[in-house]
Amino acid sequence: MADLLPLPLDETPDANPQRVHTAIPESPPKEVILLDREAPRSVLNIIRQEEVAQAIEDIAFEKPEYLDADERELKKIVNDELRKQDRNVIGPLENRLRVGFWNEYNRAQDVRGKMDMTNVYAGVCTRQYFFHNILRSKERLAWIMCPPVAYMNAMEEALLHSIEQIRDILDAPIYDKKGALIPKNAELILRTAQWLDQRVKGAIIQKVDTRALVLHGSMNNKPKDSEPVSMDKLQSQIEELALRAAAKFKDAPIQATAISLEPESGDTGE
């Protein structure tokens, strides 16, 4: 039988543990030059299909405000305009085309090549839908032309914003105008402080002492008196125990009753 080794105690974690990355690392962000025909690597100059470049250029002349708005503002502007036209607002399909467009832009810049719109709409919609419904809608095309914020930039900004909100929680009053404690605010501040303490200093280490008990033995050595007892001997031991009990409790004598261990007639023991 192999010996069991005791489990080790929990070790103290490193003071500066490495973060586990759950996202694919992004390529470095690239400068975006959208409309400059004099810039060799501008968006207009690296799009292979000229009709797509022309549709983008038309937006610059007819709806320049679309290209001057930031992401959140632009989405509100184009959705309001689409509602006026009694058309569907920006949805998943346009978002997928937008991601595909800028992924293709990054690919083209990496290889110093041209952008192929087939790589943008393939797997999202048909060529006919892209050229007939997207290119002919300045609102939808303007949304696709808005460069998405880099993932890590968006996450870092959201994190900083959430930290500011957490700081506002700590400023919540814990006493009302009469000086009475506000339990909900106090509990919220306490929980926030505990969370911050764990984030800054780490969670309290809990050690668990785990031990293993190891027994050694051999099945070849029989214990003493391990041989089977005959029925007659067992009956004799029962009667002897009954007599001892009767002698011990004289005030309340126990009448020994013969117990038969023989099988009854007709009982085959099966």
- Residue 9: predicted pLDDT: 46
Which residues in the chain land under pLDDT 50? Answer: 1-13, 15, 22, 256, 269-270
Radius of gyration of the chain (CA): 41
pLDDT tens across 90-139, in order?
999 999 999 999 999 999 999 999 999 999 999 999 999 999 999 999 99
- Residue 265: predicted pLDDT: 54
pLDDT tens across 9-23, in order?
444 445 455 555 545
- Residue 6: predicted pLDDT: 47
- Residue 108: predicted pLDDT: 92
